[in-house]
Structure 1
């Protein structure tokens, strides 16, 4: 430190603070939001913290300063012990009898005109037709009068008979059984379908966990309302924890082949991800490449996931950049 300029000393102090926060964030997967709810908020910012620490390491390295070791060591710890932030290699194999699965939060097909484009639903239909997945899991599905997708089997669940918004599972294979976990006091939900493929019954769960409903406008992030924002986030993270426990209790009863996918509204550095991913394979980790970004934000956020049971083989994974929603579609090829 004594050989550093005053400016670099200030930079190193900031570097030390952010590196320490990143190191603490590695504990997030093991602490329930119901225990320390405010700590759970940090899970949203772990990708940002990783990027900032990479910048710090590069800053010191270009100056041939040993201070680069601080961020480098902590990034190395994260690389070894936490879920990958970036995948360098991918699996790109394929078998004729792979099952192609897509998960897509379609944001109600732009029903409320968030995007200034009247062709959003048509664009989504074209994209899905081109990809031709065997199974599609939709979150924030809007039940249109004229169906967009020509699939022989489907299960659509809205919160009540008057609602048009909910979750959907479309399948090219017969659906034997369906159900809903009917999450209470929320517009979010979890549904499932037992799908018959050849002689196998595969349970497919579609999760849409508690939405955070963040608004980046000044009225939400201004100083006067920051405490209210934190309080709302704490409550929503606790709801996610409750919903995760409900899901895990239900999932435990099914012992066969399994696909678990959807919009978790949380990152892979969270307690929610850690709990749901136990004894499962993450399709991105197994076969993906790059950041696997699934949410349209200025830094890479992966909050949509596809998991399988441990007996499955993940042959491919892709995250697309179709800007027809605030989420990007993800697709994987699975075999057993």
Structure 2
């Protein structure tokens, strides 16, 4: 009879921690089915899903190298997530191009660094030059600060300031003629959603720019001491409740449009949330179809994809890319979309 392998105290402790992390990830799979209005703290927990995935992947690799059957626990739970959840990481991408593609970019520019959060000269000019270099056909900007000195060189645009006192808000720029436009005017919030209808050949395409309630996460300033943690969790809960209300307003408006559309924006939430699940119903996620890697769009200490480009199911998504210039706390994303 072969002798059974003895487990060290360290292995027993690690497996205990592994069990907790694996159970937490398994339970988190159900978070997308619970509205923040019902149990707000569940939505707070949804932000930790990327971290839980990474932690379980580390445990899985550790046990495989140790030749211990403990890898089965995290392995099975990661497999379930891979099969039934939006992808956390993509290992392949789609990279095709047609002359009839529309290049759509979404970018939270953080007011072009108006208040010098980034201690570097010329950030505003660098953002402008980056956009010109990538040359999108449609550009949706969140946290846009209007300035007459700034020229992005689009023939058509729609800008809605959220406040009369502060000259910033949402903007959409287009190479195609705008025939209709509007704002949803979220109540009691500095966030908003706007839209334009553009003509491309014989098609009318609606473009939404959606910026859901900000959670004001700052990786350089968050303090997870007892009192600070309570304030942070309270702020996040209130933010998620507002997001739920904003999603309901948006979906009611979107339901009135049954033609081709694209939804760009900063959702301030991950692909594992109730918010994303509601917004992505009957739509394609450009990253999921054509992206590669983590799709990290927010400059946080672990991969967070909170900026999205969604389309109706009838469109073809030929390419998706996340760019990484550190000109904002967000990274710009762009997709080649074919509506024909």
Distance 1:329 1:39 in 2: 28
Q: Is the 8 A contact 2:219 2:300 kept in 1?
A: no
Q: Deviations over 1:39-82 (max 9, x none)?
A: 11111111111011000011111110000010010000000000
Task: Give the counterpart of 1:290 among 284, 288, 293.
Answer: 293
Task: Give the counterpart of 1:159 among 159, 162, 175.
Answer: 162
- Matched with 2:192 is 189
Once the two structures are TM-superposed, the CA of residue 220 in structure 1 deviates from its matched residue by 4.3
- Of the structure 1 ranges 100-109 and 227-236, higher mean CA displacement relative to structure 2 is found in 227-236
Distance 1:216 1:126 in 2: 27
Distance 2:107 2:157 in 1: 15
Task: Give the counterpart of 2:68 among 65, 72, 85.
Answer: 65
- Matched with 1:170 is 173
Matched, 1:56 2:59: yes
- Matched with 1:36 is 39
Q: Which 5+ residue runs of structure 2 have no aligned equivalent?
A: none
Once the two structures are TM-superposed, the CA of residue 5 in structure 1 deviates from its matched residue by 1.2
- Matched with 1:83 is 86
Distance 2:222 2:105 in 1: 36
- Matched with 1:227 is 230
Distance 1:11 1:190 in 2: 46
- Matched with 2:152 is 149
Q: Is the 8 A contact 2:89 2:292 kept in 1?
A: yes
Q: Is the 8 A contact 2:163 2:190 kept in 1?
A: no
- Of the structure 1 ranges 128-137 and 224-233, higher mean CA displacement relative to structure 2 is found in 224-233
Which runs of at least 4 in structure 1 moved beyond 2 Å after TM superposition? 160-163, 214-221
Once the two structures are TM-superposed, the CA of residue 228 in structure 1 deviates from its matched residue by 2.2
Distance 2:302 2:165 in 1: 37
**SS where residue 299 of structure 2 aligns?**
coil
Once the two structures are TM-superposed, the CA of residue 148 in structure 1 deviates from its matched residue by 2.6
Distance 2:39 2:5 in 1: 38
Matched, 1:280 2:283: yes
Once the two structures are TM-superposed, the CA of residue 214 in structure 1 deviates from its matched residue by 2.3
Task: Give the counterpart of 1:12 among 11, 15, 18.
Answer: 15
- Of the structure 1 ranges 241-250 and 222-231, higher mean CA displacement relative to structure 2 is found in 222-231
Alignment of 1:192-271 (within 5 A): 192-216=195-219, 220-271=223-274
Distance 2:193 2:144 in 1: 13
- Matched with 2:107 is 104
Distance 1:230 1:323 in 2: 27
The TM-score with structure 1 as length reference comes to: 0.97
- Matched with 2:309 is 306
**SS where residue 250 of structure 1 aligns?**
helix
**SS where residue 87 of structure 1 aligns?**
coil
Distance 2:222 2:99 in 1: 53
Would the alpha carbon gap of residues 252 and 34 (structure 1) be closer, same or farther in structure 2, given more than 3 Å must change? Answer: same
**SS where residue 117 of structure 2 aligns?**
coil
Once the two structures are TM-superposed, the CA of residue 118 in structure 1 deviates from its matched residue by 1.9
Q: Deviations over 1:137-183 (max 9, x none)?
A: 00000011313311100000001333211000000000011100000
Would the alpha carbon gap of residues 284 and 217 (structure 1) be closer, same or farther in structure 2, given more than 3 Å must change? Answer: closer
